[in-house]
Amino acid sequence: EPEVTQTPSHQVTQMGQEVILRCVPISNHLYFYWYRQILGQKVEFLVSFYNNEISEKSEIFDDQFSVERPDGSNFTLKIRSTKLEDSAMYFCASQNFGQGRIEQYFGPGTRLTVT
């Protein structure tokens, strides 16, 4: 069964450093998302991406964040100048609306720890 993959599984970085989180969505999916989840809290929407551009972003997704689909398979989230409060689990998800219902497939996540 196809699945969303994410790398790395765990990233430790120092405050102020840049990190890039990588995702490979399911190959025939057209819509891609990034979410974050602070430990013990709810899943928070960051950004959605379709047709090589951002379709919607939340108030969390400020100038510190950017997304890119550099090739036909990868989907990346870049966080510039990380802050302590960026420590969270980051999930990538993909979706194909052609299914006629809204079903997002989540990757296993990247745990980001900012020290």
Partner 1 sequence: GQSLEQPSEVTAVEGAIVQINCTYQTSGFYGLSWYQQHDGGAPTFLSYNGLDGLEETGRFSSFLSRSDSYGYLLLQELQMKDSASYFCAVRDGGFKTIFGAGTRLFVKA
Query: Contact residues for partner 1 (CB under 8 A)?
Result: 31, 33, 35, 41-45, 48, 50, 55-56, 58, 91, 101-109
SS3 call for 61: coil
Pick between residue 69 and residue 108 the one whose CB is nearest to partner 1: 108
Q: CB of residue 43 vs partner 1: minimum separation in angstroms? A: 4
**Residue 96 CB: number of other CB atoms within 10 A?**
15
47: closest CA among 71, 73, 75? 75
- Which residue, 23 or 114, is less far from partner 1 as judged by CB? 23
In the complex, what is the shortest distance from the CB of residue 17 to partner 1, in angstroms, rounded to a whole number?
A: 25
Contact 93, 105 (CB under 8 A): yes
